[in-house]
Amino acid sequence: MSAPREAAERVQALRDEIERHNHAYHVLDAPTVPDAEYDRLFRELQALEADHPELCAPDSPTQRVGGKPLPQFAAVRHAVPMLSIKTETDTGPSGAIHFDTRVRRALGLGEDAPALEYAAELKFDGLAISLRYEAGILVRAATRGDGETGEDVTRNVRTIHRIPLRLHGAAIPELLEVRGEVFMSRPDFERYNARQRERNKPVLVNPRNGAAGSIRQLDPKIAAGRPLSFYAYGLGETRDWPLPESHSEVLDALEKLGIPVCEHRTVTHGADGLVAFHASILALRDTLPFDIDGVVYKVNSRALQERLGFSTREPRWAVAHKYPAQEALTQVLGIEVQVGRTGKLTPVARLKPVFVGGVTVTNATLHNEDEIRRKDVRIGDTVIVRRAGDVIPEVFAVIKERRPKDVEQQEQWSLAKAVGNKCPACQSAIERAEGEADWRCTAGLYCPAQRKQAILHFASRRALDIEGLGEKLVEQLVEQEWVTSVADLYDAGRINAAALAGLERMGEKSAQNIVDAIEKSKTPTLARLIYALGIRNVGEATAKDLARYFGDLAALMVADAEALQRVHDVGPVVAESIAHFFAEAHNREVIARLEQAGVRGRAEPRQAEARAVLQGLTFVLSGTLPRLTREEAAALIEAKGGKVSGSVSKKTDYVVAGEDAGSKLEKAHALGVAILDEDGLRRLLETQVEQPSG
């Protein structure tokens, strides 16, 4: 039976409108509609699709929430092969000069021919994907595979919000294949891993694996739970599309169709222009929110590209020009053990100094004893050291082939043996609890190393942000026993400008600055204060959840394990850590002294005028959202007048679904209840308009 015409027309109108708003929100970053309105449209569309299954379509925005797992991926043959490009590994200017010289020679250009025009862009570090749009609709997404045949990963790619399910604009081509890179941004990667760690779930090794791994998941809900991005860099097959004359104009045209294209690109001339681009992007590299391993140069004119053609597998008109690797080979000279803030003993490799991605590295973390065993790291081994962004360098892998004979004989490294069963800082006993990866010093804040780290943590940028209270100063303060707990920082009898000025490397001016910074730190948000206390297993995200749930420190301090576990993401282990922390008399004393000194956590103010926006709406939370905890989501909904319920019924207005949403999501589908992902929820929450009654 075919759907009534009005239903079909309404469905189409809704999809067009929703996708327009999606594009404005995700690509242009400029929302065009009050969020409650967006969600009403979305809900209406879901209800219509549930009533008329025959109207379901691949480009419906409702397809972005994932679906059932696949048994395997289907093979996709690429009509236009997906080629790779030659790489210039010389990271200096000669990489660009060689390319320009080769191209000019191949085109038969003489010495005094004018400089060639090039398009220059970033080399993204993710997974190559081909997106096929037929009559403007995303019908297939495929991996590169061997270049001739890839895998059909359409359903996973549909969960990437930045990729339009339908092209925009008036001039929609009959067929358009867009090629580009799917990747995970570094903030998204770090947020995802932090959340996984807090839930004791596996973390991603690096953003590249995060992106590639998500796309290759047979269960699209896993891809939907991981925040991915996409940038286009080229074309595959096209039909009935007026091809622009240059590569840069192709990218401009794709952008107009709603496809994400990276802003860091340029059109330039000659080898000099390429060298300048290479240098300017290198200077930017650490500030980009995603990893790149180089830049790409392309002859801009498509006519010239055609003349240049291909050599076996690579186009002669394009090249990748690398940057210094973020990895290097070096030798492990020794393994030391460092004591962290919570007493955790971390093995650190002392390395033969090596230059990695612009800095000299002499130490790299080995994480823990099990990791050393898993990677089989031994003293004397040649290893790959990796650093990325500001992250601490790590020993990534051992080159077994380079292991000397005598190292082969070495017995497996054991932490307890290495430190003679004693904390290397205070000689107290150490322990490794059942089921835990880490050894710990049992002395708590009596251990000077823990004290020092606890103070550094308290003062760190994301905690109370006391500028100038760095490692060297804290070391002196702890060693001279001026400061034994963080409360001592606020004791003017101990810490004042005159006293500080007498310390090593400390002038009067900087001493005064530190005193001012300490004074300024007295009114943090409650979440920062909780985080600053350094409770084991309480990271920033959990501290925020706790602050929202309890509202003030006094309420948190008296909460028992049962009450604590009502906060989302707080399970028995975290609850036990918190309860244990506040049960310790010396911790309570430190908090009392902080309070006396005037250190108070501010609860986040609730917006009274926004409270009514979700009045009368009932929400059900299901699965794991990429950034918000369940408790955060619930608190946000309730702060705006909405209700959060545990089970889905006809009365439910919205199901907010994340990773592993399971049966509640299915029930929502069956009942035609509107489904939101985290972005949808955020839009709804940010809206300023009143919800009309009814």
Binding site for ligand IVH (CB under 6 A): 83-85, 121-124, 128, 144, 181, 233-234, 296, 315, 318, 320
Considering the complex, what minimum distance in angstroms separates the CB of residue 320 from ligand IVH?
A: 6
DSSP string over 469-513? --HHHHHHHHHTTS-SSGGGGG-TTTS-HHHHHTSTT--HHHHHH
DSSP string over 440-476? EETTGGGSHHHHHHHHHHHHSTTTT--TT--HHHHHH
Length of the chain: 694
- Give the Cα separation of 670 and 51 in Å (integer): 10
Between 319 and 385, name the residue whose CB sits nearer to ligand IVH.
319
- Indicate the SS3 state at residue 152: strand
Considering the complex, what minimum distance in angstroms separates the CB of residue 185 from ligand IVH?
A: 15
Verify whether residue 375 is a known catalytic residue.
no
Considering the complex, what minimum distance in angstroms separates the CB of residue 236 from ligand IVH?
A: 10
Between 296 and 518, name the residue whose CB sits nearer to ligand IVH.
296
Tokens 């929400």 -> residue? 619
Which residues have a Cβ under 8 Å from the Cβ of 609 and sit 6 or more positions away? none
Cα torsion 597, 603, 605, 606 to 10°: value is -160
- Give the Cα separation of 118 and 644 in Å (integer): 55
Q: Are strands 149-151 and 292-299 parallel, antiparallel or unpaired?
A: unpaired
The DSSP secondary-structure symbol of 297 reads: E
- Give the Cα separation of 293 and 123 in Å (integer): 6
The torsion angles phi and psi of 61, rounded to 5 degrees, stand at: -55, -20
Considering the complex, what minimum distance in angstroms separates the CB of residue 659 from ligand IVH?
A: 26
Between 123 and 285, name the residue whose CB sits nearer to ligand IVH.
123
Tokens of 203: 């973390």
- Give the Cα separation of 252 and 19 in Å (integer): 20
Q: CB of 179 within 8 A of CB of 170?
A: no
Between 301 and 622, name the residue whose CB sits nearer to ligand IVH.
301
Between 319 and 546, name the residue whose CB sits nearer to ligand IVH.
319
Considering the complex, what minimum distance in angstroms separates the CB of residue 105 from ligand IVH?
A: 20
Tokens of 13: 């109108």
Q: CB of 653 within 8 A of CB of 673?
A: yes
Between 123 and 683, name the residue whose CB sits nearer to ligand IVH.
123
Considering the complex, what minimum distance in angstroms separates the CB of residue 127 from ligand IVH?
A: 7
Among candidate residues 68, 86, 123, 509, the one labeled active-site is 123
Q: How far is CA 443 from CA 153, 192, 292, 421, in A?
A: 52, 33, 44, 13
Catalytic (active-site) positions? 123
